[in-house]
Amino acid sequence: MDTFPVMMMVTLIFLTATSVCGHNITAKAESHNVSHRLTLQMVRDSLTRQEDTIVFCLIERARFPFNSPTYLPLIPGLSGSFIDFFLKQTEAVQATAGRYENPEEHPFFPDNLPPSLVPHYKYPEALSRRVHYGKLVAEVKFRDEQKEYEPPIRAQDRDALASLLTFADVEEAVKKRVAKKAMTFGQEVKLGDGGDKGKYKVDPAVVSGLYGDWLIPLTKEVEIEYLLHRLD
């Protein structure tokens, strides 16, 4: 098995899954306010733009395929791996700059973060932002079809909510689009004929698989968790 796709997927899956599991998702007033004037098409357009950032990040990550020691607890005195330590320290600094005052931003390690000293200062975090955009997606879908969503919410029926939230044609289009972007953004640009035609900096199938197997399902989990508390 090719080491690079596995290592890259482990990196991104770890970061994204940690963010989802570590954050309590509730239907807070601020989320309602952010989404008050949104439409489903506006949210989808934003998610489409975020694909560019994620694909470019994957291309950058592809330059460093072998980095397994960072995921292992090999450094004496550290709790967890080096990547845990690095993220916790980075988020602590960014929290003081007000990054997580923005309702679109969510830390991977939300416990014991220092208070913000500079409110509303924004830093992009592509994967976490994409997954947690599910709250806005869910709110817009709920407002558009409130009568359909209220019964499964009251019954706390996760399967029924998942069925209502799923648009298979949209999900398939997303997977095809990000694969195309990986092909377009990740191709080697050379002058003249020939060259490495058909070779890419990051495998488009890996990008499509990341969306289909992880980002879309995790986003849907965020949507479901949000809706389960929407009528609280």
Model confidence band, residue 34 (pLDDT cutoffs 50, 70, 90): low
* Structure-model confidence comparison of residues 57 and 12, the more confident one: 57
Mean per-residue pLDDT for 122-126? 51
* Structure-model confidence comparison of residues 121 and 152, the more confident one: 152
Residue 116 sits at φ, ψ, to 5 deg, of -75, 135
**What would the two tokens of residue 50 be?**
């975020």
> What is the amino acid identity at position 201?
K
Is pLDDT of 7 > 70? no
The residue among 15, 41, 4, 231 whose CA lies nearest residue 132 is 15
CA distances from 121 to 15, 95, 99, 101, 138 (A): 22, 9, 5, 8, 26
Model confidence band, residue 20 (pLDDT cutoffs 50, 70, 90): very low
With beta carbons less than 8 A apart as the criterion, state whether 138 and 221 touch. Answer: no
Is pLDDT of 103 > 60? yes
What residue segments make up the domains of the chain, in order of their start? 3-188+195-228
* Structure-model confidence comparison of residues 182 and 75, the more confident one: 182
* Domain 3-188+195-228 classification at class level: mainly alpha
Segment 206-219, tens digit of pLDDT: 889 989 999 999 99
d(CA 154, CA 232): 9
For the chain, percent of residues with pLDDT exceeding 70:
74
Model confidence band, residue 86 (pLDDT cutoffs 50, 70, 90): confident
Segment 161-196, tens digit of pLDDT: 999 999 999 999 999 999 998 898 888 766 666 556
Quickly list H helices, the chain.
3-21, 29-35, 40-61, 82-96, 126-132, 134-144, 146-154, 158-165, 168-185, 204-210, 216-228
With beta carbons less than 8 A apart as the criterion, state whether 179 and 204 touch. Answer: yes
Mean per-residue pLDDT for 113-132? 67
